[in-house]
Amino acid sequence: MLYGIALFPEKEVQDAANSWRIRHDPHYCKIPPHLTLREAEEWSEEKLQLAISHLKTITTHLKPFQMTFNRVSSFFPVSHVLYYALEDPSPVVKLHQDVCSGPLAITRPKYVYTPHVTIGQQMSEGELHDLQGKLKMRQIHLTSHVDRLHLLYQTDQGTWTAYQSFQLEG
């Protein structure tokens, strides 16, 4: 089964992202707006139990924090993804590093981790640039309190749902 780890921002951020995702993100119906902490991966039952134990351990030492999205950016030309970017990504990057340690260590990352909330993907180049241009003219200031992370699994229908949530208790 495929498992992944993510943060879900508060409703205001999700509503803002969904207003664009409904038209520009083919994964709109499969998962709510989120920040991926660890990419999806096939896990055995043994790896799942190690992951749960690891997440329980690290979250007891991590404090809740605030994050602010202040702009739109893209991964173009590497991929046609448009996203809300964080004013200060360091708390989420630290959380990602803590999650991706021990039994969940990633030996060869595919890319440099950039925390974000996707608002569009798999668009044509023209559509991406048009939407990015429109959104860059808007003032963006979306905040969200982070006090938990979520271990997710993919259902047989391709949607993602929470397997277990872990509160930041530090």
Q: Is the dihedral of CA 75, 79, 82, 84 positive or negative?
A: negative
Of the listed 34, 54, 96, 150, which one is catalytic? 34
Label residue 102 left, alpha or beta by phi (over 0 means left) and psi (-120 to 50 means alpha). left
Q: Which one of 80, 96, 116, 150 is the catalytic residue?
A: 116
Strand order in the sheet with 65-74: 116-121, 81-86, 65-74, 142-146
Query: Among this protein's residues, is 34 annotated catalytic?
Result: yes
Let me know if 116 is a catalytic residue.
yes
Please state, in angstroms and rounded to a whole number, the distance separating the CA atoms of residues 6 and 149.
Answer: 6
Helix (H) or strand (E) holding 165: strand 160-167
Q: Which residue in 3, 112, 14 sits closest to 55, CA to CA? A: 3
Just list the catalytic residues. 34, 116
